[in-house]
Structure 1
Amino acid sequence: MDDPAPLLDAAFWATAAAIVGLLVLSAFFSGSETALTAASRGKLRARADKGDSGAETALRITEDNERLIGSVLLGNNLVNILAASLATALFTRIFGDSGVALATLVMTLLVLIFAEVLPKTYAITNAETAASRVAGVIRPVIRVFSPIVSAVRALVRQILALFGVKTDPDSHILAVREEIAGALQLGHSEGLVEKEDRDRILGALDLGQRTVEEIMLHRSKIEMVDADDDPEKVLSQCLESSHTRLPIYKDDPENIVGVIHAKDLLRAMDRLMRGPDASPEKLKEFRVLDVAMKPYFVPETTTLDDQMREFLRRHTHFALVVDEYGALRGLITLEDILEEIVGEITDEFDLDAEHPLRRADDGHYIVDGAMTIRDLNRATDWNLPDEEANTIAGLVIHEAQTIPSQGQVFSFHGFRFEVIQRQANRITRLKIRPL
């Protein structure tokens, strides 16, 4: 039997040291990949704004995730394969043919524990800190491996194209909005985020994707003033109304010619009745259009975000919504848009209003047909689809492909819908419960 002592020579120790060094490099590449991909770009931006150069570098190299991951994986595979080859040669020298299996077992355990699980666990636990520390070293690695990674990317795209898969190198794995929405939903499901907080943030994020048509007050519910009515009648109507601003029409309710503000009307009436030139004749000659504001019309396809900015720019809170033919569709106010963020806003005039949603003793929900699907989902935490219709009544009509009769029952999207009240062609009251 050969004496094993000569096996432990300088070459042995040099190979063993090389394997240890390669395992350290493998751990560095594995941890760097996890840290740079798991780090929040928002937190990295906050660090960079405070002067952290490592965070600034991390932000730059994570702009192209495909190149980053390709370079790190290339480096990681190179050191892992080289370490496995050296270990096989070393164990074969000591144990002969059985050294191959032993080297595979030992290297698998070493790589799994010290080059994968350990560094990745640390990187996930301290993602932003780790990303800031390794970014400066990873950046030159990306530059060195960039030509190889580019060639590999081109080859991969060609192979995927053969299977009909198209890749967009400029696309992000997740859009910012989807990432925020997903984090909020996860936080809510784990009890870390309150439902009200989740709804407010998601409502603000949705403003750019929703149109005024979805939340406007339909024209059938608009309270209007006839421009030809007597001043006393106009004054009485404005005082009895729960609204501060009322549209004024001429001859036809579709022909909106102005908007009267209650304060402007009261000031004008006060001057006519108590001013220095007050007289009954002037009061009879009063025309509401003389103190009315010019109507402001907006297309029904305007996004809520754009409309809110326009309200703020124009210093007005009231707009009339028209379709592509110029026909009146409804009206929208700044309060309507704010309610999409903070929820229903009520004042002393709204307290006695009938609520559009009420839970019955049997567990059903009694819902106003004009209630929007989005509002119902927010109130009940349901997920009824709102792609094909804006209101609950519209959803039922869309699914039924007809105008249901009173008493009809439908089941779709995991819910039971019963029509309990109908006026003409409008579904005004529904009873809903999850199946």
Structure 2
Amino acid sequence: MDPTSSTIDGAFWITSGAILFLLVLSGFFSGSETALTASSRGKLRAQADKGSRGAQKALDITDDNERLIGSVLLGNNLVNILAASLATALFTRMFGESGVALATLVMTLLVLIFAEVLPKTYAITNAEKAAAAVAPAISVIVTVFAPVVAAVRLLVRGVLRLFGVRIDPDSHILAVREEIAGALQLGHSEGVVEKEDRDRILGALDLGERTVEEIMLHRSNIEMIDAEDEPEAILQQCLESPHTRLPVYRGEHENIIGVVHAKDLFRAMYAQVGGSGGDTDRLRNFDITKVANAPYFVPETTTLDDQMREFLRMRSHFALVVDEYGSLRGLITLEDILEEIVGEITDEFDTDAESEVIRTEDGQYLVDGAMTIRDLNRAMDWNLPDEEANTVAGLVIHEAQMIPTVGQVFAFHGFRFEVTKREGNRVTELKIRPL
């Protein structure tokens, strides 16, 4: 007589049905966890805005991932352990002591294939669709298990605190920028996102992280008008200058008394001489300080995002940058900030400007020492660090811990730097090539 024939009765079929049901539940929990954690909140938000209640519910429950994962894992472990216990009892009844090993083997295969791999494979390939579908049911489970999960959460945080780990509830918000930047870099490396598009979006994201000090025109390169100069000399300087706005100083360059706009200057001088048929001798009494606007000073630590908002609010395009002691450091314009997003902006006065990066015959790159590291990275798609210095020359000086002489060669950050020109204490030109 078959020893198992007497065991296949009503209890056998009930237990088998219960195990099958618990495997289905286990697959549901596993797939739900994968779908809700792998789905894009951006795509869910777009679906929710179109009226998808499931997507909105998925957004709501993923706001607190710790509670969501705790509830799903609690449900998943409950059904898995219960299914394994029922299978062990069933196989022990049928095969005796050897049923324990057999139940372990069978349940491992069933759970692995039907409760883990299969649902998770579907969920990860249809993350947003699956998340919207399971969100209503998971929301109920999260509510039911809330007290138990809260207690488990306190216990887990207490244990982590013993090891010096702190849980930041806002970490997922702070990681959004890194997530976008990583997606853009990955898309560019795979050929999906163009370099120009990547640079524009990353430039806009960086505005809140960068300060005006990093992109300002240094004071040594600012063209200024001396208020004591003759009016004819001032007029000639403005006519020859490619700039529309020029700072006006008296005595020393630090003493900025105003900023003159070329149009205002020309109008005032035209009126001073009495029009097209006027007397040019009357120009000698012209006072440029009456035409100049009050200078607008900003601290060097202002972020580019804040400064752009201030420019728009004040309807101004030009600001002078000062340090904490009030000393002039440089100037910044709205165009400088926009160039951080869209790249170099040129006009009819810039067409003859030489490129700041020139490829030499030996495969090296001739770079202006005053070029910012950020501009060099964007132009060449390199990754030179810009935390310690803003310009290429500044990076070399920082790494060398000295002011190098012409002909000196350095190697760091995977590149070779050769100093080719120096004026005083300024490194004005370098040759660079990747190692």
- Both structures adopt the same fold (TM-score exceeding 0.5): yes
Letter paired with 2:240: E
2:375 corresponding residue in structure 1: 375
Deviations 1:402-425 (A, max 9, x none): 111111111111111111110000
Where 1:252 maps in the other structure, the secondary structure is coil
Are 1:269 and 1:283, in contact at CA under 8 Å, matched by a contact in 2?
Answer: yes
Q: Show the counterpart of 2:16.
A: 16
C-alpha distance in structure 2 between counterparts of 1:173 and 1:96, whole Å: 55
- Superposed CA RMSD in Å reads 1.5
Within-5 A mapping of 1:32-181: 32-172=32-172, 175-181=175-181
**CA distance in structure 2 between the partners assigned to 1:171 and 1:406 by the alignment:** 48
Please show how residues 18-417 of structure 1 align to structure 2 within 5 Å. 18-172=18-172, 175-273=175-273, 275=275, 278-417=278-417
**Partners of 2:274 and 2:124 in 1: CA distance:** 75
Q: Is the 8 A contact 2:273 2:281 kept in 1?
A: no
Q: How far apart are residue 36 of structure 1 and its match?
A: 0.8
Q: How many angstroms apart in 2 are the aligned matches of 1:410 and 1:128?
A: 51
The 1:236–1:170 alpha-carbon spacing in structure 2 relative to 1, beyond 3 Å, is: closer
Task: Output the CA distance in 2 between the equivalents of 1:310 and 1:174.
Answer: 25
Give how far 1:28 is off: 0.7
**2-structure distance, mates of 1:257, 1:175:** 45
Following superposition, the deviation at residue 277 of structure 1 comes to 8.9
Counterpart-to-counterpart distance in 2, 1:277 and 1:141: 89
Residue 18 of structure 1: how far off its partner (Å): 0.6
CA shift for structure 1 position 289: 1.8
Give the partner amino acid of 1:93.
R
Following superposition, the deviation at residue 299 of structure 1 comes to 0.5
Count the aligned residue pairs: 435
Which residue type is aligned with residue 210 of structure 2? R
SS of the counterpart of 1:182? helix
State how far apart, in whole Å, the 1-side matches of 2:311 and 2:3 are.
Answer: 91
Stretch of structure 1 that moved more, 270-279 or 33-42: 270-279
How far apart in 2 are the matches of 1:170 and 1:326? Answer: 37
Q: Which runs of 5+ in 1 are unaligned?
A: none
Name the SS for the 2:239 alignment partner: helix
Cα deviation, 1:297-341, whole Å, max 9, x if unaligned, reads: 110000000000011111111110011111100000011001100
Cα deviation for residue 271 of structure 1 reads: 2.6
Q: Tell me the SS of whatever aligns to 1:28.
A: helix
1:39-94 Cα shifts (integer Å, max 9, x gaps): 11111111111221111111111111111101101110111111111112222222
TM (norm. structure 2) is: 0.97
The superposition leaves residues 225-249 of structure 1 with CA deviations (integer Å, 9 ceiling, x where unpaired) of 1111111111111111111111111
Decide whether aligned partners of structure 1 residues 3 and 105 sit closer, same or farther in structure 2, where only a CA change above 3 A counts: closer
Q: Is the Cα contact below 8 Å between 1:66 and 1:169 reproduced in 2?
A: no
- Structure 2 residue runs of 5 or longer lacking an equivalent are none
TM-score of the aligned structures, taking structure 1 as reference length: 0.97
SS at match of 2:106: helix
Give the SS at the match of 1:68. helix
CA distance in 2, matches of 1:363, 1:113: 56
| Cα distance in 1, alignment partners of residues 171 and 150 from structure 2 | 17
Question: How far does the alpha carbon of each residue in 1:166-221 deviate from its partner, in whole angstroms, 9 at most, with x for none?
Answer: 22344328611011011111111111111111111000000001000000000000
SS state of the match for residue 407, structure 1?
coil
Distance 2:259 2:277 in 1: 26
Q: CA deviation at 1:2?
A: 4.3
Amino acid in the other structure paired with 2:395:
L
2:408·2:418 contact (CA, 8 Å) conserved in 1?
yes
Deviates most, 163-172 or 105-114: 163-172
In structure 2, distance between residues paired with 1:227 and 1:242: 19
Q: Contact 2:270–2:276 (CA<8 Å) still a contact in 1?
A: no
Distance in 2, Cα, partners of 1:174 & 1:376: 28
